[in-house]
Amino acid sequence: MESFVMDQDLIVNAVCIYEANKLNIDPEDVVVDLFYDDEMAQPFGAEIWEGDTMHHEISMVELIAAIRFWLDDYSPIDPMSASIDLQFDDDAGFSAMID
């Protein structure tokens, strides 16, 4: 399988779709604020908002689950066999390397 890189916009879209499915709302109504804190054991996460209301935060594990959900519906990649490596760069932002 060839490597595929999800950029920050695709990661946000994946989380919007995943959370909308869980919350039973439209993906367009979900706002995602990704964060990275290198002092945490799981440094990646996201705040999930609907309008002006923050619903909850999701962990790195849930970010990966959202990417797998997106891969299952929007790509030919087998989401369960894919290796997903989340990355953050101060200049480039968030990305996910899919192998």
Q: What is the pLDDT of residue 1?
A: 59
For residue 28, the one-letter residue type is E
Burial label, 24 (beta-carbon count in 10 A; 0-12, 13-18, 19+)? exposed
Half-sphere exposure of 6 (CA within 13 A, CB side): 29
pLDDT digits (tens, 9 = 90+) for 27-37: 999 999 999 99
83 backbone dihedrals φ, ψ, rounded to 5°: -90, 125
Burial label, 25 (beta-carbon count in 10 A; 0-12, 13-18, 19+)? middle
Number of domains forming the structure of the chain: 1
pLDDT digits (tens, 9 = 90+) for 42-96: 999 999 999 888 889 999 999 999 999 999 999 999 999 999 999 999 999 999 9
pLDDT digits (tens, 9 = 90+) for 1-20: 578 999 999 999 999 999 99
CA 82: distance to chain centroid? 15
pTM of the model as a whole: 0.93
Contact between 38 and 44 (Cβ < 8 Å): no
Q: What is the pLDDT of residue 55?
A: 86
